[in-house]
């Protein structure tokens, strides 16, 4: 008999859905967003400028996520040997791929109607900026439930590649624990408007 009971919100799947909804609502209602974004951008820029990496993957912001693309553009412009990448979904069960991006490159709708670079080489990132719907003190994150970053990090680790992982979130999305499961991988750090953890 299955332990998953849709009527019981204490099951892992349902409790995560409930938590995710609560966190998305909190992010959508965040007051004084401009000030939060400015502080987060400052801390993120400090982290990126200290990272000894050349290939950095970010994300196209959706559903009220922090827009890291301006910070990424400045990071890219500071060193001609740097490459910025954006994720490309090939199908819903595969790891993400990462295509080169510049602030002026042509974009096209990708999976879930999220823009991706129309062309450009696929590369393996040395570090990833990963948006968090929520996060906890152990640096575990909760996303939208598709498992894309879990699969991607697992595949990279299996191939012997361990990129730095930088979660990006607002303090309103910090929780005591996301109750991590066996497939969850803790971030190396989390950046919020209050600092780096």
Per-residue pLDDT reduced to its tens digit, 56-65: 999 999 999 9
Q: Is residue 127 part of a domain?
A: yes
Beta strands in the chain (DSSP E): 55-57, 83-88, 97-101, 107-109, 115-117, 127-131, 134-135, 141-142, 164-168, 189-192, 195-196
Q: Is residue 191 part of a domain?
A: yes
As for how many domains the chain has, the answer is 1
- Write down the pLDDT at residue 91: 86
CATH of the domain at 192: 3.40.50.10420
Q: Is residue 1 part of a domain?
A: no
164 forms bridges with which residues in the sheet? Answer: 127
Q: Is residue 3 part of a domain?
A: no
Residue 123's region, left for phi above 0, alpha for psi from -120 to 50, else beta, is beta
- Write down the pLDDT at residue 3: 37
Q: Is residue 84 part of a domain?
A: yes
User: Does the model's pTM come out above 0.85?
Assistant: yes
CB neighbours of residue 57 within 10 Å: 28
Q: Is residue 173 part of a domain?
A: yes
Which string of DSSP letters, residue by residue, matches 44-76? HHHHHHH---SEEE-----TT----HHHHHHHH
Token readout for 96 is 């993400």
Q: The domain containing residue 45 runs over which residues? A: 12-196
Token readout for 100 is 């080169």
Query: What is the chain's pLDDT, residue by residue, as a tens digit (197 residues)?
Result: 333 334 444 555 678 889 999 999 999 999 999 999 999 999 999 999 999 999 999 999 999 999 999 999 999 999 999 999 999 998 888 899 999 999 999 988 888 888 888 988 899 999 999 999 999 999 999 998 888 998 999 899 888 889 999 999 999 999 999 888 888 889 999 999 999 99
Q: Is residue 135 part of a domain?
A: yes
- Write down the pLDDT at residue 197: 92
- Write down the pLDDT at residue 69: 96
Q: Is residue 2 part of a domain?
A: no
């Amino acid at each position: 008999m299955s332990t998953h009971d849709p009527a019981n919100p204490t099951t892992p799947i349902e409790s995560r859905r409930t938590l995710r909804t609560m966190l998305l609502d909190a992010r959508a209602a965040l007051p004084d967003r401009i000030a939060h974004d400015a502080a987060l951008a400052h801390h993120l820029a400090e982290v990126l400028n200290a990272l000894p990496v050349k290939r950095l993957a970010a994300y196209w912001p959706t559903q009220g996520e922090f827009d890291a693309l301006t910070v990424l553009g400045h990071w890219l412009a500071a060193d001609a040997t740097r490459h910025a990448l954006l994720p490309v979904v090939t199908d819903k069960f595969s790891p993400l791929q990462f295509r080169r991006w510049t602030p002026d490159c042509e974009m096209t709708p990708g999976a879930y109607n999220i823009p991706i670079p129309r062309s450009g080489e696929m590369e393996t990132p040395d570090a990833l900026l990963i948006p968090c719907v929520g996060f906890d003190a152990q640096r575990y994150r909760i996303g939208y439930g598709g498992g894309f970053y879990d699969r991607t990090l697992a595949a990279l680790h299996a191939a012997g590649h361990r990129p730095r992982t930088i979660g990006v979130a607002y303090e309103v999305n910090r929780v005591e624990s996301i109750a991590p499961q066996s497939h969850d991988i803790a971030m190396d750090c989390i950046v919020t408007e209050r600092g780096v953890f």
